[in-house]
Structure 1
C-alpha cells in the first residue's frame, strides 16, 4: 500500500472535490436563452439638424437597429445624458425597465409624440398640424423637433433657441399638445422568464408568451425523448402558441438530469413606442424607442434544466423490534445453570472488573476503591517500564565495554 502523507491526501481530496463541484455546476447551469427580441445598433438612419437645448447644441438623428435576420427598424433616443455605443446589442423591454439616466417620467406622452410626429406622419403633415408655413421645413427639421420634444419628457430638457425653419414651433406644438397614453404598446414577441429549473417527475417552468402576432406561432422544440411542452392550463401537449399562453416542460419521473428548450419565430409588429435597452448592463449605451410601427421577423426562446428525481420512493427497510435492554452484540442463549460443587475452603472473591457501559446509558464515574486500584496499577506499570529501560541501557553499556 502506497504511503501518502496526510497533507498530500487532503490536497488530492480537495482537488477532486473541487473538480466534482465544477462539473456539477456545469451540468446544473442553464444555457443562456434569448427570451426577447434582440437587435444591434448599426448606425444612423437619417440625420436631423442640430437643436439648442438648455443652451447646448445637440445633434439629432434616427438610429438603425438591425435584427439577427437582417431586417431593420428605426428608433429615437430617449436618454440625452448617455452616449450610444457602436455596434451595441439591444433587447426589447417594457417601459418599467427603463435603465437610462433620465427620469422618463411621462412615457405615455412620449408615446403620443411618436404617434403624432415624424416618421409616423410626414414632415409636411407635421408642419401643417403645428401651423408652420415655411415650405423649407424638411424631414431633417421634423427629426430635430420630434427628438427635442422626446428629450423634454425623458430628460427635462428645453429648446432654448428659435429656428427660422420652424423647429422651435413644431417642438412647442408637440410638447403643449402631448397627452398621456397609458396603454403601452404590446411586445412583438417575448417569452418570460428565459430559464427555469426543476426536478424530473414534475412540470418544469412557467413560461408566458407575449406577442402581437395575429396568428399562432409554431414551436421548435429541442428535448430528450419523453419530455414534452404542455399548456399549463389544460395539460395538453402544444405544437404552437399564442399571446397569453403559459407553457412548461413535462418531465417524466425517472428521466435523467438534463435540459430542453423551445424557440419561436414569427412575423410581428415592432410597434411605435417599444423600448429597446442595452443588452449588457456593464457597458451602458443610450436607451432607444421605436419611431414607427414596422413589421419584422422576430424570434425568442427559453430553456429549462432539471435534476434527476421524482421516481418511486424506496420502501423503508423493516426495523427490528426494540429489546428491553439493547446491547452492541446479541447475548448467547442461556443454558441450564450447573449446580456448584462446594469446595473445602471458600475461595477469595476476584476483584470486580469494570465493564464498558452500554451505548444507550451514560457511563458511571469511577470512585472509591476502584479508583485507588487503577492508580496503583498505573504506578506499577510505570515502574515496570522504567526498570525495563534501565536494564536495556545497562546491557548496552556492558556490551560496549567488552
Structure 2
C-alpha cells in the first residue's frame, strides 16, 4: 500500500485539539498537520512500491515533532488526531510491538534527521548521500523491523540501499524512553476508610504536581499512606478516602511541561477512523497532562449469622450379639370367655335355651317311666 500524505487545514491551530473526542487515552495529544519532507519511491522484495515521507505532528501549544511511519499497510488520514502511547499498545498491522522495537529506536537515534546526511555519509562510507536518500533509507530500515519488509537492491538508488544495509546490520535492541506524562491506570474504585488505587507515573519531567478535586478529607498519598503532592517518573500513589465519607468520586490531574522523546509511539485517537501509526523521530518540549478518576462507596456491614439451635445427638441403639438374642416366645393364647350364668329376669337365648329344652325332655321322659313302673308294681300286687 502506498502511504498517502496530505496537508491539514489551518483550523487546527485556531481551535487546538478541542475537536478530539473524549476517551480513556493517556499521554500527550497531537495532530498530523502535513509533511516535513518526502523521499524516494522504494521497491521491496514482495513487489510493493511505497513512497517515503517524514511527517509532522503538532501539539496543542503549537510545538511540532518529526515522525516516521511504523505501519506500512495503513494510509495516514488527513487531520488525524494522535495520542502518545507505549510500544506495547501498537494498534497497527504487522508485529512491531512483539518483534524488535528497540532496534527501530536505535535507527531513529542514529540516522536522519537526528544525524545529518553529511554525518551519515561519513559514518557509513557513502559519498554524496543526500537528505532524500537518508530519509528513504531510514524509513526502509524502520519498516524492515516494524513490518518485516525487505528492500530490493535492484531498482532503488544505490546510496539508499547502502545506508539501509548499514542501519539494519548495526541496529541493536534498546529500551524506549519514558512517556512525556502518563498515569496508569486511569481509574480505580473501592470503599471509603482506606486507600484506593495504585497509580504509576511515567514522565520525562523532573517533578509533576498533583491536583485533587474531591470532598474534604480526601487526599493523595504514597503507598505507605503519607500525604504526597508531587511525583516523579516511576513513582506510585493512591487516593485516601477517610472512613465515613459519603459515597462519591474524585479526580487527580497533573499538568507539566515535559519532553516528548525520540521513539515514542503515536497511535490514532480512540473512537476516530483508522490511520497510520507513527513514531517520533525527534524530541520537543510541550505541555503534557493526565487525569485519573477514583470512585468509592461505604463498606457494607458484615452480616453475623444467627446461631443455629443445638440438636442433642442421639445415642446409637446397640446391636445385640447373636449369643445375647433371646429365643422368640410364642404369644400366650387369650382365655375363651365363659358364658355368663343365667340370672332371673334376664331373657335366655341361644345355646342356653337349647340346653333347657333338652333337660325338660329328659325330665318328662323320666317321669313317664317312673309312672309306668309304679303302675306295673301295683298291678302285680293285685294279682297276687
Distance 1:278-1:118 versus aligned 2 partners, 3 A rule: same
Q: Does 1:64 align with 2:56?
A: yes
Offset at 1:85? 2.1
Preserved CA contact (<8 Å) 1:220 1:264: yes
1:139 corresponds to: 131
1:111 corresponds to: 105
Q: Does 1:243 align with 2:233?
A: yes
**CA deviation profile, 1:71-130 (whole Å, cap 9, x unmatched):** 221211111011122222222222222222112212121111111100111111112222
Larger Rg: 2
| Matches of 2:122 and 2:302, distance apart in 1 | 80
Alignment counterpart, residue 45 of structure 1, candidates 36, 47, 51 = 36
Runs of 5+ unmatched residues, structure 2: 1-21, 312-384
Distance 1:314-1:58 versus aligned 2 partners, 3 A rule: closer
Distance 1:144-1:208 versus aligned 2 partners, 3 A rule: same
| Matches of 1:218 and 1:93, distance apart in 2 | 21
1:365 corresponds to: none
Distance 1:33-1:252 versus aligned 2 partners, 3 A rule: farther
Offset at 1:204? 1.7
Preserved CA contact (<8 Å) 1:34 1:300: no
Preserved CA contact (<8 Å) 2:183 2:201: yes
Preserved CA contact (<8 Å) 1:208 1:246: yes
Preserved CA contact (<8 Å) 1:85 1:286: yes
Runs of 5+ unmatched residues, structure 1: 1-30, 325-402
Distance 1:69-1:261 versus aligned 2 partners, 3 A rule: farther
Distance 1:94-1:315 versus aligned 2 partners, 3 A rule: closer
Preserved CA contact (<8 Å) 2:28 2:181: yes
Alignment counterpart, residue 263 of structure 2, candidates 248, 256, 273 = 273
What RMSD in Å do the two structures reach over aligned CA positions?
Answer: 2.8
Q: Does 1:257 align with 2:247?
A: yes
| Matches of 1:244 and 1:169, distance apart in 2 | 40
Offset at 1:261? 0.9
Alignment counterpart, residue 150 of structure 2, candidates 153, 158, 175 = 158
Which aligned pairs between 1:255-334 and structure 2 lie closer than 5 A?
A: 255-280=245-270, 283-307=273-297, 309-310=298-299
Preserved CA contact (<8 Å) 2:63 2:285: no
Distance 1:165-1:226 versus aligned 2 partners, 3 A rule: same
Q: Does 1:176 align with 2:169?
A: yes
Distance 1:117-1:228 versus aligned 2 partners, 3 A rule: same
Preserved CA contact (<8 Å) 2:259 2:283: yes
Equivalent residue pairs, number: 286
**CA deviation profile, 1:34-89 (whole Å, cap 9, x unmatched):** 43222222222222222222333211111222223332212111110111222222
Offset at 1:281? 6.7
1:124 corresponds to: 118
| Matches of 1:84 and 1:228, distance apart in 2 | 43
Distance 1:41-1:310 versus aligned 2 partners, 3 A rule: same
| Matches of 2:244 and 2:37, distance apart in 1 | 58
Alignment counterpart, residue 90 of structure 1, candidates 82, 92, 101 = 82
Preserved CA contact (<8 Å) 2:252 2:291: yes
| Matches of 1:209 and 1:257, distance apart in 2 | 27
Q: Which stretch shows the higher mean deviation, 105-114 or 292-301?
A: 292-301
